Structure 1
């Protein structure tokens, strides 16, 4: 589908809503006006990409209501969903065209984010609990050192020297307040449970200590 193929269905779609529509007005692919309302701009492209988004942002310096129009993708991949989220942040609208029909996915509107206080709280707690700065920013495909892992390593180091120990004793000796929960969950497979109320270091835990000593 060519960009020019998008124009007839987009024009018809807008005219059905009472707009007078004209193409190639100045820098805009499509300009539409309805009564005394502010003009509406539509930029046409064969794919939703950064070039089109930048064009839309540029048109916002002229008029507030700007749509981007693209062919309907075969399926909404993660990339398209991410780009749609970006359009919402930028206040750009999105139209898609399929078999001559136009669907409006987003209308131009000021972005009003919904704070994710639960996720923000988890990040703040992780920052506060993590000791030092053991990771390198910008890396991919490497195991991250989290505050939880640091606490588990402290418990593993204590059990390596003390042998089977109760969760309360581990917590007191290491300062890991959530020792009981970590030992009970055994998320990494580092701990054995040889007797009621006692935990010991497993072979996997010993290997983990050798690879990454506790902080």
Structure 2
């Protein structure tokens, strides 16, 4: 597949803007595409690139000092991963007040994914509430910020606490485990058995599996 050049994007973008009544010129004072409507409004500025990069975003932010109507334009890629990456970049550009265009090179189709302008992302109260619950549930500060290893979530911390209790007390009733460990949903954690650490001996009574004992042993500091 031939490498895409920025110049491959120019003709489709020029035609797209001209169809909306703009006069379009390239490389005006270093700007890739500049379009004027002739009515005294600020020009439309489009920066062309073969792909998203931090340098492209820096450049577009600088152009905001010249006009409120600044777009970045990249080739439209195919595939699920490319679409996911595009959506993430569009969200970022919206927060920066930058518009986003793509060009489908096989037929020159230009698509506008976001227009420039002030943007306030919608809040997600349920996600915020869940985040606060996880913060409150997490006992102590068991993780290191930036880690790429096994993260200790509140759920996993509860499971470790329950497994540690069973390793000492042996098979126990769910209610007894909840009372002893302070994990109110202990029975549910053992019944769900997300990590394969627990086994139901009989109704309401659980014990550790070999995997559960190994998990606790792995977490026990050497003497």
Q: Decide: shared fold, TM above 0.5.
A: yes
C-alpha distance in 2 between matches for 1:204 and 1:100? 57
C-alpha distance in 1 between matches for 2:78 and 2:162? 51
C-alpha distance in 2 between matches for 1:4 and 1:37? 27
Q: Structure 1 residue 26 and structure 2 residue 26: aligned? A: no
Q: Count matched residues.
A: 213
C-alpha distance in 1 between matches for 2:202 and 2:7? 75
Under a length normalisation based on structure 1, what TM-score does the superposition of the two structures give? 0.89
What is the Cα deviation at residue 77 of structure 1? Answer: 4.3
Structure 1 residues 153-192: aligned runs within 5 Å: 153-192=160-199
Alignment CA distance shift 1:19-1:139 (3 Å): same
Match of 2:16 among 9, 13, 17: 13
SS in 2 for 1:104: strand
Match of 1:101 among 68, 90, 109: 109
Gaps of 5+ in 2: none
- More moved, 61-70 vs 113-122: 113-122
Structure 1 residues 1-215: aligned runs within 5 Å: 1-34=4-37, 35-75=39-79, 76-97=82-103, 98=105, 99-140=107-148, 142-213=149-220
Gaps of 5+ in 1: none
SS in 2 for 1:132: coil
| RMSD (Å), alpha carbons | 2.0
What is the Cα deviation at residue 79 of structure 1? Answer: 3.0
SS in 2 for 1:211: helix
C-alpha distance in 1 between matches for 2:12 and 2:199? 67
C-alpha distance in 1 between matches for 2:125 and 2:102? 33
SS in 1 for 2:143: coil
